[in-house]
Amino acid sequence: MEGIDKKDGADNQNNGEKRFREEVYSKAVRAGKRTYFFDVKMTRKDEYYLTITESKKKFDQDGKYHFEKHKIFLYKEDFDKFSDGLTEIIDYIQERQPYEPREEEEKDVLKEYSDVEFEDLASS
């Protein structure tokens, strides 16, 4: 997935003043039932920081849905320590419990690709 650069054209002039634009760059990562959003934002002092948002669709008893979101703000002075800690913990988990796709994930992948018609392939 490609990220979206939102800074292009962000420095619009309004009566000689630089307009403040908070969002700079975004990337969405779909992972199963969750979506993670990585957003680069800018402070009023033109310093970048990162927000990481986990979004998960939840259904109410009446069938209506809403999105449950959790957000982390990460500032550049913490990037190295955060990255080191995240890498260490991911390595720890992967060494002790290697990833094996669950049966339901495999079914989702098979379903996604089993709906292909031969006529669809011929037009490519």
The answer as to whether 122 is a domain residue is no
| pLDDT tens-digit readout, 56-113 | 988 888 988 889 999 999 999 999 999 999 999 999 999 999 888 877 665 655 555 5
Q: How far is CA 13 from CA 19, 21, 75, 80, 116, in A?
A: 6, 12, 27, 35, 50
101: domain CATH number is: 3.10.450.700
Separation CA 112–CA 25 (nearest Å): 30
- C-alpha neighbours within 13 Å on the C-beta side of residue 13: 2
Smallest Cα–Cα separation from 12: which of 25, 24, 21, 3?
21
The answer as to whether 9 is a domain residue is yes
Q: Average model confidence (pLDDT) for the chain?
A: 79
The answer as to whether 119 is a domain residue is no
Domain count, the chain: 1
86 compared with 115, residue with greater pLDDT: 86
Helix (H) or strand (E) holding 9: none
The answer as to whether 120 is a domain residue is no
Say what the pLDDT of residue 115 is. Answer: 55
61 compared with 2, residue with greater pLDDT: 61
pTM of the model: 0.62
Over residues 6-17, the mean pLDDT reads 47
22 compared with 15, residue with greater pLDDT: 22
The answer as to whether 97 is a domain residue is yes
Boundaries of domain holding 58: 4-113
